[in-house]
Chains A and B, each alone.
Chain A
Amino acid sequence: MTLLPDWLTEQSISRELEAMLRNRSPESLETMAARSRAMTLRRFGRTMTLYAPLYLSNYCSSGCAYCGFASDRTTPRRKLDEEEIRREIAAMKQLGIQDILLLTGERTATVGFEYLRRAVEIAAESMQRVTVEAFPMSVEEYRELADCGCTGITIYQETYDSMQYEALHRWGPKKDYLYRLETPERALEGGIKTIGLGVLFGLSDPVTDALMLYRHARHLEKKYWRGGISISFPRIRPQTGGYEPAFEVDDHLLARIILAFRITMPDVELVLSTREKPSFRDGMAGLAITRMSIASRTTVGGYLEGESPDEGQFEISDSRTTEEFCQALRNRRIEPIFKNWEPAYNGPSHQTRPCS
């Protein structure tokens, strides 16, 4: 039994959010949407920041039951070498992408820190903003990545339900719930400017997961006042291995969760990926979401070679081209923004260490 910290379990912190999530009336959803829309418009204007993922490798040492890259899958393994990374990035730039998220599986002998550090360096040569979604690292490693131009780290707890977490992460380093939970703090300590949090909705009770995710974000906000926070809302998609989600999260509930986060965290960036279908993405764009992925490929080498079926980390629901997606945003009077960062601001942030 994992002993969870008080800041993660104290229910009073998330009372307002909980009230919005427990009430499932359609009327309350409309009211929330109107409120969330006004708050998003006021704080972020009519804009959407765009990014795209680059899967560097699908080697993995973990046994996540819900993931197409888990080490027991028969998926062919591959990692991009430096030349291939450059070519993929060039192909992404052809699509207009200037903000990139680099991804790997869990740390392995084949794909470790040095490989990732070098990939960040290469990406920072031509991309305006580089963020990473990979394996948990040490404070020193995060500092090195920040030095090379990495400004953000995405690290999902996947589920905050420690029993489910134990069951779903069948083996590998990811089994350690608390080590993963503390990862955002190590990243911020290391000078990473923005931390991306999230749960994979469907792995456990979605309301409980949402409440714990919120408490996690609030904890980081207090402890690391310079840290930027973004929150993503992925839900289980079909993937190799055929995992069936234990909890259903329908469009209404997912929308309710996203709107409730906007209302309770008016200033944080809320992210939605191409896992979601076009109608849902377009609809949420004006209501709460401020950052979206585009033209995504979830296979290694997918930008140059095209997507090979059944090999991605998960299935994509929104396969529109950059132009099609941007036009859909413009039709809603939202400006797509490809560059919303300046590399002059790269480098480790100066976190003041909190007194403890």
Chain B
Amino acid sequence: MDHLQLGAYTFSSRLILGTGKFSSAPVMLEAVKASGAQLVTVALRRFNREQLEDDLFGPLSEIPGITLMPNTSGASTAAEAIKAAHISRELSGSPFIKVEIHPNPQHLMPDPIETMEAARILASEGFLVMPYISPDPVLAKRLEDVGCASVMPLGSAIGSGQGLASAAMLSIIIRESSIPVIVDAGLRAPSEAARAMEMGCSAVLVNSAIAASDNPSEMAAAFRDATEAGRHGFKAGLMAESTEAVATSPLTSFLGEQS
């Protein structure tokens, strides 16, 4: 079977859903179901034990077959992310932690230095660490070295809808990585998820494109199908691409001539 392997966990779905930005918790839950996702991420800052209709964690934890991956969105340093990881594990019981450290709250770009530090410590504590990173091939290998369960490079900036703007860097990361590479952020259209999977990504994480759609459930289903199609395409092997002209007269016929 073709499964996504993260630590000791296996998933048949290769689409991971983000749960913020939806118009309501019921709409989000419908989208999660329609997506076929088995792994979803939820921000610790959206765990709300005091006001249940505002809470994302409670309703998600009741869907059968869903594994929760808390994330540290809002943390701006390694220390804050580590603290958030501990609280998240306590509240959710999940071994997964998506390390998101963005010191600039405007563009939400991940801090490579703080992420490296948090990932190293959390991996040594037994977490299944899923770091959200800029598409930096060296950083990806460094995170693999310290025991991360995957790397999650951005396709483009969070919420930008610019798709796989970082495709060239992503292809280097995919080629070199021994752990799953999951494209996280920036995807706008299902076709971009398919393309990421065709490139050899192990999975994709989508939130804004589904939450901001007029019909989140239908868009979630579209991403589900696109992710599967892209995976099939990758496994089957894409035909070699060529844009170069083929000369009508051979250019190398002189080779092997006697004189």
Contacts and interface: CB of A to CB of B under 8 A. Distances in A.
A42 B160 contact: yes
B211 interface: yes
A340 B159 contact: no
B46 A345 contact: no
A339 B48 contact: yes
Contacts of A44: 21, 159
Contact of B45 (A193, A330, A342): A342
A342 B212 contact: no
A45 B48 CA distance: 19
B159 A43 contact: yes
A100 to B, nearest CB: 13
A9 to B, nearest CB: 24
A243 interface: no
Nearest to A351: B103
Interface string A213-253: 00000000100011011000000000000000000000000
Given A338-B48, A344-B80, A349-B76, A45 B107 contact: no
Interface residues of A, number: 36
A339 B50 contact: yes
Interface string A40-54: 011111110000000
A333 interface: yes
Contacts of B51: 96, 98, 338-339
A46 B76 contact: no
Q: Is the interface of A mostly helix, strand, loop or mixed?
A: loop
B83 interface: yes
A62 interface: no
Contacts of B211: 45-46
A193 B21 CA distance: 22
A39 to B, nearest CB: 9
A342 B44 contact: yes
A337 interface: yes
Interface string A264-279: 0001100000000000
A338 B24 CA distance: 13
Query: Which of A194, A338, A339, A347 is most buried by chain B, counting CB atoms within 10 A of its CB?
Result: A339
A47 B84 contact: no
B45 A341 contact: yes
A344 B23 contact: no
Contacts of A342: 43-45, 47, 74, 84, 87
A334 interface: yes
Contact of B23 (A96, A128, A226, A335): A335
Contact of A344 (B21, B24, B87, B212): B87
B44 A229 contact: no
A261 to B, nearest CB: 13
Nearest to B159: A43
The winner among B44, B46, B80, B103 for most chain A CB atoms within 10 A is B103
B43 to A, nearest CB: 8
Contacts of A268: 106
A248 B137 CA distance: 55
Closest 10 CB pairs of A and B: A45-B21, A228-B105, A46-B23, A267-B106, A342-B45, A333-B23, A339-B48, A43-B159, A344-B83, A226-B103
Interface of A: 41-47, 93, 96, 98, 128, 193-194, 221, 225-226, 228-229, 267-268, 330, 333-342, 344-345, 347, 349-350
12 contacts: A42-B212, A47-B23, A225-B103, A226-B76, A228-B106, A333-B24, A336-B54, A339-B48, A339-B50, A344-B44, A345-B84, A349-B76
Interface of B: 20-25, 43-48, 50-51, 54, 74-77, 80, 83-84, 87, 103-108, 159-161, 207-208, 211-212
